[in-house]
A and B are shown apart, each in its own frame.
Chain A
């Protein structure tokens, strides 16, 4: 039996039932990683020794009856922008090539409390800036469905690790689609929760007002279970929201009768690959057949989302990434003449091209004389987008659309044309601007053999609506393992 074929919840059940030990599960993950890493390169760091040691401790606590949750003993991979105490955390950047945090992110701590075993840290676009995982300083990750293609990004390492079945589940982060888009490219499921649901404490910030951590796994059941484990109100994160209800698994109900689903016409226009369109409309049909009320509508403002997003995210990033200066931690240039020269050389040598591009863009839009024209205007667009969604959610419980305009592009195709790459985020970024929850689920395979993903959006704090719709859809098909699985 290949333990990594199982979902996280299935594996957790076997561990609970003493069919498998946590150590065996961890060993299975480590073996799979050893076998597949060369082809997929989804990890930056794998800590075998610590993982096995931790698995043993967890097993003892399971045996003692102290750990009974669904994730106890299940191996997990963490995107490399979440701090892990004592374990290298690089953001896939040279500038943090040697950074070992003194503390763990709250989401990671919550997972550890649930008894999950951290195996290692996954590759990503440098500082989560990119949609292909090609901007990593440690080599690109490949798509387990076809290693000539990208896995998407920026959580490409986490999604590829799940699709290649190196681990049953992983954590990702989503600032403009970084969980949902690679999930769709890799044929796995990922949730970006409502802003404020999962603590950002310990998540190395890209765009602070947009960043959210979320689960990536094989199915909706896993994702709901993991989300339940990592969500918490955290006093250390001022933007954390004290929610009334964290019981996401209660929404795992195969019933969409009367559920109102809106299909934004704007999401199905020019630029959308016909195969993707057909598959996503297929989801609508399936849900309609199961009793949902499906209706088309005009969302509006879609074309403004991309510029607004890149202004806000880059502005915040230009400030968030200022702390990487060679003074306190991380990379420092070897030779320098004075303080300014050290800053300049350390940052020039430590950051990659895409990160520099976004820092420059962000610095520019915040400059005196430009602030009103760019940043303030972008904030106004953000407010209008939120309003458009508010109006839509007054009518619909769920909005359905594609997660990305195409399936995974070939390696090397995207970076040469950043504008094209930015346009690929068109369906995902509005969700971050509005702070909404979104889920990406596999819904088909295109003629190239690459997975297609559909995206379901809900109103703020209404994860249960999208979990229920996604779960109901998922019940109509079987999970497709990637060729590398």
Chain B
């Protein structure tokens, strides 16, 4: 078999975090009864007209600046014409000829080092509604709540060569956009969507191979699998002496395979033309400067600050700043309890363990920093033991309970009363003559076993230092 190189470019759709839609004042809130966040504009009523939400432009420019793009200071919207019931006007207002940002790049880091992925353009557009097919009643119903939710589409150059690079690129984009506050970028909820354009070519070849576009990728895992699968499929075709057909393919997460949706031959002619209902967007130098000035701290700066200001090791600072949400949680908790390293330990160890156990996204962590800060104080003051603290943390993580009240209610305070502990330990010693004998015969393990028995007897509440002390006395 020949040696092949994979060439990948990405089209990433990101739903912007504006309160209202791109062309009307309807709410963008998720959920809500079907068609409750709608008006004449976002349901395509005759005579209605779009009015651009300024915040959309500001977010798009902010993302463009953070990804080193040139901002198009005279930008326009175009209409993309196609018929589908989720699209109430039967055209989507998008940008083709003069997109808001062009010629950017982001730096990614993989095991093989750092590299730049170039961004071809970023354009603004509106999202469509949602079709619900009721097989039972044999009808289709449409919900326009999502119709008109603002999106940006970030189109990369074909600069990636592996799934690893694609994931690194997406992680970098996600991090940057989350830090900007422009979107929450949740792949599973669709606020970030990636279409993968992939082709293969013989190593050393200058010409690109025929590419396919893969849609419906809802997780990093699906993206990685889809890339591997498509790469194999194209190589197999070429090895058999056949050709790759330029087409759009749909990834099926359950079957872990893709199937052709439509080929280039039946690609629609979108009949793009300038949107006559909107005036050109003119972005002054001053406006760009203002957006730049109000840009929040991005990850690289935050990473450095965590090391300097909180004295955290590089490792901690990296993990905490990987997600803006995690970093916010860290800062809020630290602000209350003033113990950065303790907070960092809790978040990196216990919190991340639970995130993995629950197969959750870091973005979905929802407990209050006040509760974590309180828990750290309780443990530090010796009110509860380390073991109990771990159990209470799990409660905080899952149900966001108030730890002090919870500890009191369930009698989880650590046992510091020597007389009380002495009585318990005496019972343990009496019940385990073998262990006592082993200890006297120099087996250190036997001591640990007796401590363990004591802890079990006190449901983990016994103060370990006191237990050690008394046990040594008794033995």
Chain A residues packing against B (C-beta within 8 Å): 82-83, 89, 91, 96, 99, 101-103, 105, 200-205, 207-209, 235-239, 315-316, 318-319, 322-325, 327-329, 339, 343, 363, 366-368, 371, 375
B279 touches A204 (CB 8 A): no
CA distance A205 to B88 in the complex (A): 15
**In the bound complex, what is the Cα–Cα distance between A368 and B264 (angstroms)?**
14
Among B45, B91, B272, the most chain A Cβ lie within 10 Å of the Cβ of B45
Interface CB pairs A-B, < 8 A, 10 = A101-B46, A103-B45, A202-B48, A319-B91, A322-B81, A328-B44, A339-B85, A339-B140, A366-B271, A366-B272
Which of A316, A325, A329 has a CB less than 8 Å from the CB of B83?
A325
| Residues of chain B contacted by A316 (CB below 8 angstroms) | 273, 276
Contact B51 A236, beta carbon cutoff 8 Å = yes
Would you call A237 and B46 a contact (CB within 8 A)?
no
Q: Given the complex, which residues of A lie within 8 Å of B85, measured CB to CB?
A: 325, 327, 339
Q: Which residues of A contact B48 (CB under 8 A)?
A: 201-202
Task: With both chains docked as a complex, state the minimum distance between the C-beta of B419 and any C-beta of chain A, in angstroms.
Answer: 78
Shortest Cβ distance from residue B27 to the other chain A in the assembled complex, whole angstroms: 18
CA distance A322 to B52 in the complex (A): 21
Nearest CB of B to A326, in Å: 10
User: Are the CB atoms of B90 and A323 closer together than 8 Å?
Assistant: yes
Task: Look across to chain B and name the residue whose beta carbon is closest to the beta carbon of A240.
Answer: B49
Chain A residues with CB under 8 A of B89: 322-323
CB of A302 to closest CB in B, whole Å: 24
Kindly identify which residue among A204, A209, A363 contacts B46, using a CB–CB cutoff of 8 Å. Answer: A204
Chain A residues closer than 8 Å to B91, beta-carbon distance: 319, 322
Of B90, B140, B142, chain A has the most CB atoms within 10 Å of the CB of B90
Contact (A235, B46) CB under 8 Å given A322-B83, A322-B90, A375-B273? no
* A237 and B271 within 8 A (CB): no
Which residue in B46, B52, B81 is a CB contact (below 8 Å) of A99? B46
**Residues of chain B from 283 to 339 with CB closer than 8 A to chain A in the complex:** none
B277 part of interface (Cβ distance < 8 Å)? yes
Interface residues of B in 256-283 (CB under 8 A from A): 269, 271-273, 276-279
A70 to B48, CA, bound (A): 29
Q: Which residues of B contact A371 (CB under 8 A)?
A: 271-273
Query: Is A102 in contact with B45, judged by CB distance below 8 angstroms?
Result: yes
Indicate the size class of the contact surface on chain B. Answer: 20 to 34
B79 contact set on A, CB distance < 8 A: 319
Q: A322-B81, A343-B83 are in contact. Are A328 and B279 (CB under 8 A)?
A: no
**B binding-site residues for A, Cβ under 8 Å:** 40, 43-52, 79, 81, 83, 85, 88-91, 140, 142, 269, 271-273, 276-279
Are B271 and A238 in contact, CB atoms less than 8 angstroms apart?
no
Q: How far is the CA of A399 from the CA of B51 in the complex (A)?
A: 35
Please, which residues of chain A bring their CB within 8 A of the CB of B46?
83, 89, 91, 96, 99, 101, 204, 323-324, 329
Interchain nearest-CB distance for B71 vs A (Å)? 21
Q: Which residue from chain B places its CB closest to the CB of A211 in the assembled complex? A: B276
Interface SS of chain A? loop
**Residues of A contacting B88 with CB < 8 Å?**
323, 328
Chain A residues near B279 (CB-CB < 8 A): 238-239
Beyond A322-B83, A343-B83, whether A82 also contacts B44 by CB under 8 A is no
Given contacts A102-B40, A319-B81, A367-B271, contact A325 B47 (CB under 8 A): no
Q: Which residue of B lies closest to A342 (CB)?
A: B85
Q: Is the CB of B50 within 8 A of A82?
A: no
Q: Enumerate the 5 nearest inter-chain pairs by beta-carbon distance, A residue then B residue, closest first.
A: A322-B90, A366-B271, A208-B276, A209-B276, A202-B47
A325 touching B90 by the CB < 8 A rule?
yes
If A318-B81, A325-B85, A375-B273 are given as contacts, then 7 extra A-B residue pairs at C-beta distance below 8 Å, sorted by A number, are A200-B49, A201-B49, A202-B47, A209-B276, A238-B51, A315-B273, A328-B44
Q: Which of A82, A96, A103, A235 contacts B40 (CB 8 A)?
A: A103
Question: When A319-B79, A327-B85 are in contact, do A363 and B271 touch as well, CB less than 8 Å?
Answer: yes
Q: Closest B-chain residue to A234, C-beta based?
A: B49
Contacts of A99 in B (CB 8 A): 46
| Docked pose: A320 CA to B279 CA in angstroms | 17
Inter-chain CA distance A207–B272, complex, in Å, is 16
For A103, A203, A209, A323, the residue with the greatest tally of chain B CB atoms inside 10 Å of its CB is A323
Given contacts A102-B40, A319-B79, contact A238 B49 (CB under 8 A): yes
Closest to A203 in B: B47
For A208, A236, A315, A367, the residue with the greatest tally of chain B CB atoms inside 10 Å of its CB is: A236
Tell me whether A367 and B269 are in contact (CB under 8 A). yes
User: What distance in Å separates the Cβ of A344 from its nearest Cβ neighbour in chain B?
Assistant: 10
Find chain B residues with CB under 8 A from A238 CB.
Answer: 49-52, 277-279
Q: Of the candidates A102, A105, A319, which one forms a contact with B273 in the assembled complex, judged by CB atoms under 8 Å apart?
A: A319
Q: Is B50 a contact partner of A327 (Cβ separation < 8 A)? A: no
CA distance A333 to B398 in the complex (A): 54
Q: Are B269 and A236 in contact (CB under 8 A)?
A: no
What are the residues of chain A within 8 A of B140 when measuring CB–CB? 339
Residues of A within 8 A of B45 (CB): 83, 101-103, 329
* Distance in angstroms between the alpha carbons of A209 and B44 in the assembled complex: 18
Find chain B residues with CB under 8 A from A102 CB.
40, 45
Cβ A235 vs Cβ B51 within 8 A? yes
Give the nearest-CB partner of A362 in chain B.
B271
Q: Are A319 and B277 in contact (CB under 8 A)?
A: no
Chain A residues with Cβ under 8 A from B40's Cβ? Answer: 101-103
How far is B92's CA from A322's CA once the two chains are assembled, in angstroms? 11
Chain A min CB distance to B75 (Å): 14
Interchain CB contact under 8 A, A366 and B47: no
Residues of chain B within 8 A of A325, CB atoms compared: 83, 85, 90
A101 touching B47 by the CB < 8 A rule? Answer: yes
Chain B neighbourhood of A328, CB < 8 A: 43-44, 88
Q: Which residues of A contact B276 (CB under 8 A)?
A: 207-209, 239, 316
* Chain A residues, CB < 8 A from B51: 235-238
The CA-CA distance from A69 to B46 in the complex, in Å, is: 31
Residue on A with the closest CB to B270?
A368
Instruction: Give A232 Cβ to nearest chain B Cβ, in Å.
Output: 14
Known: A202-B47, A319-B91. A366 touches B52 (CB 8 A): no
Complex Cα distance, B88 from A209, in Å, reads 21
In contact, A366 and B81 (Cβ under 8 angstroms): yes
Chain B proximity of A318: nearest CB distance (Å): 8
A residues within 8 A CB of B90?
A: 322-323, 325
Closest to A330 in B: B46
Measured CB to CB, the nearest residue on chain A to B144 is A328
| CB closest residue in chain A, given B84 | A339
A332 to B392, CA, bound (A): 61
- The answer to whether A319 and B271 touch across the interface, beta carbons within 8 angstroms, is yes
Which B residues lie within 8 Å of A315 (CB)?
273
B47 touches A368 (CB 8 A): no
How far apart sit A366 and B49, CA to CA, in the bound complex (Å)?
Answer: 22
Chain A residues within an 8 Å CB radius of B44: 323, 328
Nearest residue in B to A104 (C-beta to C-beta)?
Answer: B47
Per a CB cutoff under 8 Å, which of B50, B142, B273, B277 touches A366?
B273
Shortest CB distance A206–B (Å): 11
**Once the chains are docked, how many angstroms separate the CA of A367 from the CA of B279?**
23
Among residues of A, the one whose C-beta sits closest to the C-beta of B86 is: A327
Residues in B neighbouring A366, C-beta threshold 8 A:
81, 271-273
Of chain A, the residue at the smallest CB distance from B40 is A103
Q: How far is the CA of A10 from the CA of B269 in the complex (A)?
A: 56
- Docked pose: A265 CA to B83 CA in angstroms: 47
Q: Which residues of B contact A322 (CB under 8 A)?
A: 81, 83, 89-91
Nearest CB of B to A261, in Å: 32
Contact (Cβ within 8 A) B273 A239: no
User: Which residues in A have their C-beta under 8 angstroms from that of B81?
Assistant: 318-319, 322, 366
Chain B residues with CB under 8 Å of A101's CB are 40, 45-47
Which residues of B are found within 8 Å of A319, using beta-carbon distances?
79, 81, 91, 271, 273
| Docked CA distance A135–B126 (Å) | 35
Chain A residues closer than 8 Å to B142, beta-carbon distance? 327
Minimum C-beta distance from B142 to chain A (A)? 7
Please name all residues of chain A whose beta carbon is closer than 8 Å to the beta carbon of B271 when the two chains form the complex.
318-319, 363, 366-368, 371
Most B CB atoms within 10 A — which of A200, A204, A322? A322
Q: How far is the CA of A99 from the CA of B45 in the complex (A)?
A: 10
